[in-house]
Structure 1
Amino acid sequence: MILLSFDIEEFDMPFEYGKSITFEEQIRISSEGTLTILDLLAKNKLKATFFSTVTFAKNATAIIKRILDEGHELASHGVYHSDFKKEHLLESRLALEELSGVAVTGYRMARMMPVDEQEIQKAGYLYNSSINPTWLPGRYNNRHISRTYFFQSGVLQLPASVSPISRFPLFWLSFHNLPLWFYEHLVKRTYQKDNYINIYFHPWEFTDLTDKERFGFPGYVSKNSGQDMIARMDKFMGWLNKQGYPSGTISQFTKNIPLA
């Protein structure tokens, strides 16, 4: 199964590069990007999981409704994107459930940072997708962790997909920087090995990020953003359909995994 997921959050990433951006602009950029994503999913008849912060959800209630109305899954991305306390695990689940009226069973930590699995279990989540099982300088050193799903502390762990053997990450930065044919090749190889793909993106990638004075991003972050990203994602989604891969939400996928 193809597991597409999108981390919908207040767009605070410019702060990491010494730039300022108003809260209103953070929400606007992420809202516009999420609507673009929903349009692409509808066009290509694919389903996805949206990991939302409470902050974004409260400021984009119509978008959350559309996500659910169109058969996608809502999961938790915390209360805030740049602030975390263990209490936020339960707080975010309850707040999203109250706002949406649906059960929230999945969690993803902001920036795929480590999170205490026992606290995840205590907060009532069934799965956690917060691990990138690869090595990226200054960010991740997770080559010792299983490439594929496993159980820990009673919670299903669903790492982001990486290629077999080399563990080349298939996350959003790879999608922006690799030739699309080669990215698709890695996806196909990984799917053949694992029988599923778990890849994630963000709504702000669908905004033109090349203005370095405004956002401060290096070229490897801003490459193929905006209209280029829209066209690239549309082509990729079409390719997924041509391969005949089934598409679904993470919750749908996890229902077929026996409990540990």
Structure 2
Amino acid sequence: MVLLSFDIEEFDMPFEYDREISFEDQISISREGTIAILDLLEKYKVKATFFCTVTFAENIPDLIKRITETGHELASHGYYHSDFKPEHLLQSKLKLEELSGKEILGYRMARMMPVDEVEIQKAGYTYNTSINPTYLPGRYNNFNISRTFFTKEKVLQIPASVSPIVRFPLFWLSFHNLPLSIYKFLVSWTYKKDNYLNVYFHPWEFTALNDFKRFGFPKYVSKNTGVDMIERMDNLISWMKEKKYSFGTFQEFIETIKK
């Protein structure tokens, strides 16, 4: 099963590159990208999981409704994207349930940073997908963590997909920078080995990010964004459909591995 997921959040990433961006622009840019994602998913009739911050959810009630009413899963990405306290785990779950009318089962920490599994369990989540089991200088050093799903502190841990053996990450930056043929090869290899694929993206990737003066992003971040990203994702989903890969939400995936 392909677990397509999207971390929908206030677009605060320019702050990491010493740029200012208004809150209104943070919301509008991520809103634009979320609509592009939903349109693509609707085109191919595939379901995905949206990990949403409370801050973003409060500003897009119509899109939260569209996400839930069209069969996608809503999960927690925290209360705020750039501020975390342990109490936000439960607070974000409860608030997203209030806003959506749906039970929130999953959590993904902002920027895939470490989070205490005990606190995840205490907050009532069924699964956590905050682990990228690879090595990236200055970000992740997770070669000691299982490459595939496992249980810890009574919570199902579903790491992001990395390739077998070398653990090459298949996350959003790889998708932007690798030739699509190589990315597809790695996807195929991983899917055959693991029988599932867990890849994640962000709504702002589906908007044009090439304005260095405005955003400050290096080329490896801004490459293949906007229309190019929409076309690449369209190509990827079409290719997966041709290969008869199944798609589903994390909630649906969990039901399959329980059997």
Shorter-chain TM-score tier: over 0.9
Trace 1:1-260 onto structure 2 (pairs within 5 A): 1-258=1-258
Secondary structure at the aligned position of 2:114 is classed as coil
1:53 shift after superposition: 0.1
1:44 shift after superposition: 1.1
Q: What's the C-alpha RMSD, in Å, of the aligned pairs?
A: 0.7
> What is the number of equivalent residue pairs in this alignment?
259
Amino acid at match of 1:85: K
Q: 1:71-124 deviations in whole A, cap 9, x for unaligned?
A: 100000000000000000000000000010010000000000000000000000
Secondary structure at the aligned position of 1:257 is classed as helix
Q: 1:31-53 deviations in whole A, cap 9, x for unaligned?
A: 01000000000101111000000
Output the CA distance in 2 between the equivalents of 1:204 and 1:213: 17
Secondary structure at the aligned position of 1:125 is classed as coil
1:133 shift after superposition: 0.1
Secondary structure at the aligned position of 1:7 is classed as strand
Q: 1:5-63 deviations in whole A, cap 9, x for unaligned?
A: 00000000000000000000000000010000000001011110000000000000100
**What's the TM-score, normalizing by structure 2?**
0.99
Q: Structure 1 runs of 4+ off > 6 angstroms?
A: none
Output the CA distance in 2 between the equivalents of 1:133 and 1:187: 16
Amino acid at match of 1:94: L
Q: 1:228-258 deviations in whole A, cap 9, x for unaligned?
A: 0011111111001001011000000011223
Secondary structure at the aligned position of 1:256 is classed as helix
Secondary structure at the aligned position of 2:241 is classed as helix
Secondary structure at the aligned position of 1:187 is classed as helix
Amino acid at match of 2:107: Y
Unaligned runs of 5+ in 1: none
Output the CA distance in 2 between the equivalents of 1:5 and 1:151: 20
Q: 1:161-194 deviations in whole A, cap 9, x for unaligned?
A: 0000000000000000000011011000000000
Percent identity reads: 69
Output the CA distance in 2 between the equivalents of 1:249 and 1:65: 17
Output the CA distance in 2 between the equivalents of 1:98 and 1:45: 27
Amino acid at match of 2:119: E
Amino acid at match of 1:7: D
Output the CA distance in 2 between the equivalents of 1:187 and 1:46: 18
Output the CA distance in 2 between the equivalents of 1:29 and 1:169: 26
Unaligned runs of 5+ in 2: none
Output the CA distance in 2 between the equivalents of 1:258 and 1:195: 14
